[in-house]
Amino acid sequence: RWHYFKEPWNIFDFIVVILSILGVLLRDIITKYFVSPTLLRVVRVVKVGRVLRLVKGARGIRTLLFALAMSLPALFNICLLLFLVIFIYAIFGMSFFMNVKQRYGIDETFNFSTFFRSFLLLFQMSTSAGWDNVLAAIMDENDCTPTGPDAEGDCGNRGIAIAFLVSYLIISSLIIINMYIAVILENYSQAAEDVHEGLTDDDYDMYYEIWQRFDPKGTQFIPYSQLSDFVHALEEPLQIPKPNKFKLISMDIPICVGDMCYCVDILDALTKDFFARKGHVIEETAELAEVAPVKLGQFEHISSTLWRQREEYCAGVIQKVWHDYYQQHKQQQQQQQKLNTI
């Protein structure tokens, strides 16, 4: 029964169900003495996360998430670059437009009066949201107090405003933001190419899942007689559909004591065959090291599919020669008996 908790998704389901049951049973107590009812509603919303289980069965989604995970280091660097650009432009904005009159896109929250508000306003405009109203406010030189010797004016500056905001939008929106998309697309293309050209963890998981059908006790061995059915039951790209007798012979898969085939030997042969079809030759697979070792005596190789075919061929030749000799000797005895009778 503890095998259930070996699967992370099962643990996630277990936690969500337990929290939901506790929320129902102890709703009045928790609400009265501990937390607000809003938190209980949040716990119920967590149940929607069970939809994430679909990721396990959706290969395309897993590829997309893998590409996103591979992009995180580059995306973090781009975030730092964007932060640096906003930091510099926030200081420029404070220097030129700190006292600009509040109108259009400039209000009490979004303005250049402080560094934090300037930073917040520029971060908002990095997505091209509301930049036109901000530009209208900081370039408007009408209905305002000009800068004088004794007072700070609240007028905008048309030339500086255009140069400031246009350059910022080009750097932030057209260059840096598009860099996010470029990095993700590049990693997704690489991940999709790896899926198409090579073996992924999904392929190895598929292999072991189907292996469990033929080896439910987890001995890591299946009878040689089931080898053909097993490789036929696999999915692409490891599948070898029937008729596959001569293909298995050419793969020279080792056969262990008791006419049993070892899990790793079959996977090794299938992997080498896959890369051979792709034009790549490999010596061993990294996945083999993850398989638990077995007892040396049980793992001892006594033959292979190629040598088994040679043995069967030789046995067939010997049987045929013996059968011909036996038939010939039998005919000679019958002829000798007829002669003796005469």
Q: What is the pLDDT of residues 316-339, one digit of tens each?
A: 888 888 888 888 888 888 787 777
Q: What is the pLDDT of residue 196?
A: 65
Q: What is the pLDDT of residue 250?
A: 83
Average pLDDT, stretch 200-223? Answer: 84
* Residue 253 DSSP symbol: -
Q: What is the pLDDT of residue 296?
A: 47
- Which tokens belong to 265? 């030997």
Q: Regarding beta strands 260-262 and 221-223, do their DSSP bridges make them parallel or antiparallel, or are they unpaired?
A: antiparallel
CA 182 to chain centre: 19
Phi-psi region of 258 (alpha: psi -120 to 50; beta: other; left: phi over 0): left
Amino acid (one-letter) located at 337? Q
Q: What is the pLDDT of residue 289?
A: 47
Secondary-structure percent of the chain, ordered helix, strand, coil, rounded to 5? 70, 5, 25
pTM: 0.53
pLDDT at 25 over 50: yes
Amino acid (one-letter) located at 323? H
Q: What is the pLDDT of residue 46?
A: 62
303: which strand partners? 255
pLDDT tens profile 49-88: 666 555 555 566 777 777 888 888 888 998 899 899 999 9
* Residue 89 pLDDT class (50, 70, 90 cuts): very high
Average pLDDT, stretch 121-144? Answer: 83
Q: What is the pLDDT of residue 298?
A: 57
Average pLDDT, stretch 16-41? Answer: 65
Average pLDDT, stretch 108-137? Answer: 86
Give CA–CA dist 251/272, Å, rounded: 9
pLDDT tens profile 273-282: 887 777 665 5
Q: Are 248 and 266 in contact (CB under 8 A)?
A: no
pLDDT at 286 over 70: no
pLDDT at 230 over 80: yes
Angle at 117 between CA 112 and CA 118, to 5 degrees: 45
More confident of the two residues 127 and 6? 127
Give CA–CA dist 316/329, Å, rounded: 20
CA 296 to chain centre: 35
Q: What is the pLDDT of residue 31?
A: 58
Q: Which residues of 308-337 are buried (b: 16+ CB within 10 A; e: fewer)?
A: bbeeeeeeeeeeeeeeeeeeeeeeeeeeee
Tell the residue number behind the tokens 């896109």, with chain if given: 105
Tell the residue number behind the tokens 């030339």, with chain if given: 159
pLDDT at 263 over 80: yes
Burial of 169 (0-12, 13-18, 19+ CB in 10 A): middle
